[in-house]
Amino acid sequence: MEYRRLGKSGLQVSVLSFGSWVSFSKQINDKVADELMGIAYDNGINFFDNAEIYALGESEKMMGRILKKKKWDRTSFIVSSKAFWGWRGKNNKPNQTGCSRKHLVEACNEALQRLQVDYLDLYFCHRPDKKTPIEETVWAMNHLLQQGKILYWGTSEWSGVEIMEAHRVAQQYRLIGPTMEQPQYNLFERDKMENEYLEIFKNVGLGTTIWSPLAAGLLSGKYNDGIPKDSRFALEGFDWLKERWVMDDKIRKVKKLSELAARTGVSTASLSIAWCIKNQHVSTAILGATKKAQLLDNLKAIEVAEKLTPELMEKIESIMKTKPTLPDF
């Protein structure tokens, strides 16, 4: 396993990590989750990602039960939570969502209980909160840092402007700014990582825990000939995900990518993940496998990344044609 520093921090995070979005409680039970987390840990993965909204809190409870059962040395792994959406669904009241001091503090305490840990290694603002001043959010996160309830704080799907504003506030009051961002990044979604965040990487440093490296499974090739019944696109309530990704143009590109992967002697999934981690601005790519075979194949991405020569990268680019156009100045 390869380990990379999380931005400018000294925290070493495995370049592949394991997440629970969609899968925990919805697609897999405790037994399967236990097996998958065990395989991940035994293969060097040290970061396990979660959030209050995942399965409305049930995902964190499931991961908490497994962590307690595993009895791993707490210093050997990294666990996260994210706050913004709340976990009560339609029953959320006004202060049970967002990035206000009240919600961030209370959501942190609830996550600690569900995950059955004393502190969160990483704690994210799951989305920017247009109703709360960024100054309040920065102060709230530093309050939690000083209490020892979180070790690093970050953002998810924030704009470059919002991230830099958080750093400006932190600098003004001599506080700690966001260490990491969790953006979507894959062969279809590239603008933030390859354009918008470039100046942040260069000027203040930013770790990234990218999500959906397989574009919700599309880049695994599993949807090339239709939607399998046991896939996340077939889940009730996830029609929006299917509508976003299952488009003829994207399917055609994935089919060509699958042909290239076959000629290279690797799977489409491992090739797609390897392409993501080839970008050195990626601290870790979060895997969402629901089966042992899927996870073991995803883990091969580290070996596949070594095969990604400039020539092969160019072949991938010629198929996808998704590289952002950067400004001339």
* Alpha-carbon distances of 64 from 17, 117, 118, rounded to whole Å: 17, 8, 11
Active-site choice (54, 123, 197, 223): 54
54 catalytic per annotation: yes
Q: Which of 62, 73, 57, 61 is nearest to 34 (CA)?
A: 62
Alpha-helical regions (H) of the chain = 30-42, 58-70, 101-115, 134-147, 160-172, 191, 198-203, 239-245, 248-264, 268-277, 292-299, 301-307, 310-320
By the 8 A CB rule, do 213 and 185 touch? yes
d(CA 41, CA 214): 21
Q: Which residues contact 116 (CB under 8 A, 6 or more apart)?
A: 64, 65, 67, 68
- Residue 293 φ/ψ, nearest 5 degrees: -60, -40
Pair type for strands 12-14 and 3-5? antiparallel
CA angle in degrees (0–180, nearest 5) for 301-205-194: 55
Tokens describing residue 256: 């060509």
Q: What is the DSSP string of 267-290?
A: -HHHHHHHHHHTSTT-SEEEE---
Q: Which residues contact 273 (CB under 8 A, 6 or more apart)?
A: 16, 213, 214, 285, 287, 298, 301, 304
Q: Which residues contact 99 (CB under 8 A, 6 or more apart)?
A: 83, 84, 125, 127, 128, 129, 132, 136, 137, 140
> Which amino acid, one-letter code, is at 85?
W
Catalytically active residues, by annotation = 54
